[in-house]
Amino acid sequence: MQVTAQAIPQTVTVGVVFGFISLTLTIALHHRASSIMTMFILAFVIGLVLLVLSADKFVDGAAAIANHYGMPALLIGMVVVGIGTSAPEMVVSAIAALQDNPGLALGNAYGSNICNIALILGMTALISPIPVQSQVLRQELPILTGVTLLAGYQLLDGQLSLLDALVLIATFAAVMWWLVRQSMATREDAMSQAAAVEAQEHQMSAKRAWLLVGTGLLVMMASSRALVWGAENMAKSLGVSDLVVGLTVVAIGTSLPELVSSVVAVRKQQHAMALGNILGSNLFNTLGVVGVAGLIAPAAVDPSIMARDFPIMVLLTIALFVVGMGFKSKTGSINRLEGAVLLGAYFIYLAYLLITVVAA
């Protein structure tokens, strides 16, 4: 039976989600979960499944609306599709902030960034090496590095203040303005061409597109509440911090749309789109997700973030900048060896995280 290109995203999504469910349930059985713990796990798993599926439909609808109203393909690819895959992180972190849980909000955002670069790009590069031919993406790499350093500087005082959040939101608006300008001026770029192909796959009637956006957003809100409630109570039952849960299971779960998008993109030889998804997502997480969480609930930052997790994110971002820019040639690339190193780095980070949790 021939598998169509349109069926690939759904197949990958279902496979990844059920794999993640199996992992979560295995952990539950290992800990001989009580009935109340089982309820927390089911809330988390069901919330995650609905969140991933609704985010996928939300992005499809948003891309179709943008295409229907004649937005440039590059803008659709980098903003609507690329950043739209970060909708789960935004909703989960906003709800966590509303419930006065800054550890889960920041852990989700920064853990997703680590996951995006090390786990998702590493896996994607192992499937197919990623050439960085797009000048737009080569310009976006130093921007991502710069905003990551800015976010780190803000957190040195141990606080995510209202002023910090406003600066992040203002920087995000400036980056979005730049992306719009690039989309209007750049027509022949590799990213623009990949985005044009992607935009054609999201064609549907305006009525159906708006229906997907509306229902997708509503389901994302409801499923995120279930996921956050389950994650918070799982953390308490297992005796670990909300930050650790945010950095691990929540971050991996909310990064599933990026994983699906990137794997499907490289399978279709759309390497620019695969990398663009990750760069756009990390920009949105660092500026938009953390900024909104700070606007909702300014809070003290767990010291372990600056001592352990943020340096890892900075190192991975700088490593991506170096290999992506390819200073010795006009184009950079992420080859299979570098992908294996990134993937190995992620598992080392997870092991280090677990060791520090056990030691505490």
pLDDT tens per residue across span 127-169: 888 888 777 777 888 999 999 999 999 999 999 999 999 999 9
Q: What is the pLDDT of residue 119?
A: 92
Residue 145, CA atoms < 13 Å, CB-side half-sphere: 17
- pLDDT of 11 > 60? The answer is no
Handedness of CA 117, 120, 123, 129 (dihedral sign): negative
Q: What is the pLDDT of residue 112?
A: 92
Q: Return d(Cα 81, Cα 281) in angstroms, integer.
A: 10
Token reading at 332 = 């950079």
When pLDDT is averaged across residues 211-225 and rounded to a whole number, the result is: 83
Element (H, E) at 130: strand 130-132
Split at pLDDT 50, 70, 90, the class of 295 is very high
What are 76-118's pLDDT values in tens digits? 666 666 667 777 888 888 888 988 888 888 999 999 999 999 9
> Which tops the pLDDT comparison, 154 or 254?
154
Split at pLDDT 50, 70, 90, the class of 6 is very low
Split at pLDDT 50, 70, 90, the class of 190 is low
Q: What is the pLDDT of residue 187?
A: 59
Token reading at 94 = 């906003």
Lowest mean pLDDT among 3-12, 48-57, 344-353: 3-12
Q: What is the pLDDT of residue 147?
A: 95
Helix axes 102-114, 310-325, angle to 10 degrees: 30
Place of tokens 């590799």: 190
- pTM of this prediction? 0.81
Token reading at 34 = 């009580």
Lowest mean pLDDT among 177-191, 220-234, 270-284: 177-191
**All domains in the chain, ordered by first residue:** 7-359 (1.20.1420.30)
- pLDDT of 349 > 70? The answer is yes
Split at pLDDT 50, 70, 90, the class of 252 is confident
Q: What is the pLDDT of residue 172?
A: 92
Split at pLDDT 50, 70, 90, the class of 30 is low
- Name residue 295's amino acid: L
- Name residue 82's amino acid: G
- pLDDT of 14 > 60? The answer is no
Q: What is the pLDDT of residue 316?
A: 95
Q: Return d(Cα 3, Cα 286) in angstroms, integer.
A: 36
